[in-house]
Structure 1
Amino acid sequence: MPQNLETRVPDPEKDRVPPAVPRWGGAHFLVFRNLRVHTGGNPWTMAMYSIFEPILYLLAIGVGIGRLVGDVDGVNVTYAAFVAPGLLATAVMNSALYETMEGAFVKFTHERYYRAILFTPVSLTGIVAGEVAWAVLRGFVTAIGFLLVITVFGLVSWPDALVAAAGTLLVAFAFGSAGLAVTTRIRAWSDFQYVQLVLLPMFLFATTFYPVTVYPRVIQVIVELLPLYHAIQLLRGCALGRIDSGLVVSVLYLLVMGALGLVVARRRWARVMLH
């Protein structure tokens, strides 16, 4: 005769309750998974692929055209040293955006990866936080690889490179959060063309290759509103050892951008996946 549930002797093994995961928890599981899938555990593989394009720009424009330009007026550094931090910021931006845009789009639409995760103890907040954390790691590894190259070239000193590396964490956070929020608006691969319509002009005009002072004042105001401009200003000031109060504006801009992107991404992904 079956034993009554009220009189059954508890079994410690069968009755063991799995530990509860906090509502915000589980983000680290996504970071570990992405690291294994993308690199097989070797993060430097990411750096090799990510820094190839900016190094080509540095050699072709920074070094090549730099021989014709000489020192940059008002900055008193070689043209290559001026361009390098701009390319660093762009490389970090592209690395972070790739993971939270194209990468997240594939996981959601083709692999059904996020919906599967929701059946595990990992929460939706953990998914969003984990993907942004992964974007920050991806951008940071890219930055380390690029900084090693330009340090060997003598374009930045070791102490300044370490400070710039810390700044890249903020840049990756800002763009990674914003990218994950924007991805919820993507409906097909063709929509990424609109993203490129924003990124390419920003790359060309956000002082990557020349100071903002070359523009008329009206254009300067527009450029100074661009997120890549503030990323470049922050990393250029760190890489050239010119840290002053002016960088506070760029730091605050990127912090607010990242925080807002994180909040919007959480709300948008909740609407997309839970409704």
Structure 2
Amino acid sequence: MFDQDPYLNTLTVDERDTIIRYLTDLYDGVFSPQSIENHFISYVGFESSESLIELLLQQVPEKSKILDIGCGFGTFVLAARAHSYDAFGIEPAAFEVEIARKRLGRLCPTAPAEAVFRIASADEINDDVPTFDAITLWNVVEHIPDTSKLFQKCHSLLKPGGKLFIICPNYFAWRDEAHYHLPWSPVDFCFASRFVNKCVKLGRNPEYFLNGIVTVTNWGVLQMLHRLKFSFMDFSGLNYSVAPRLSVSSICNFARFYFPFKQSICLIATKDS
């Protein structure tokens, strides 16, 4: 598997082992050993980023300036730069940024690694002047306590017509919780203690859920973005900011996009130009 992934090949064997230990400690009582391995392959490797890069190529011209918030070990930014995007990443975890900088240095020794990858949260970015053509939030929104403030910051950082890409779990849905992979329902959204008790009974540590998860919802995200006057698209490029055409397919698409119980929130929000 490693030999087939160009981004995992940017890591030494010792670094891979160190990252696995780091993830094991970070998700102690949350992820199983198999989930840790899957997470490593998907998010440190290229597996997860491949489809995201294809989406970016469809929606944003090459050479555009991109910001990946919560960039982790930097794979998406590395892949975006390989496709001629002027891509940057911010991440509050210093260890992950250190690894991302090393990987960039090996792939492109002349790149300014400390400028490309910064140890920072979204709050710490200067937004005096709109800077970015696109901002990506790949499975990050559910980890940032003040969702509304996050979207306001993204709005300030985007140029007119800039696009905000979002993927995150919808916590008003019947699904497996995205991190513990235990059954979740809208009842758990209303009574979070129910899920905490479930974790305890199964010998799982609920601290990560209590301190690291924000139970965002599809309607909640859409409402906050609407207040900032973003327009909406799904990943196929269909526009959902105007009334649907009087056709069965159009009405069904709108119903799916706004469905409160959909399992995941996947959308592109465009800033007014």
Shorter-chain TM band:
under 0.3
> 1 or 2, which has the higher helix percentage?
1
> 1 or 2, which has the higher strand percentage?
2
Larger-Rg structure: 1
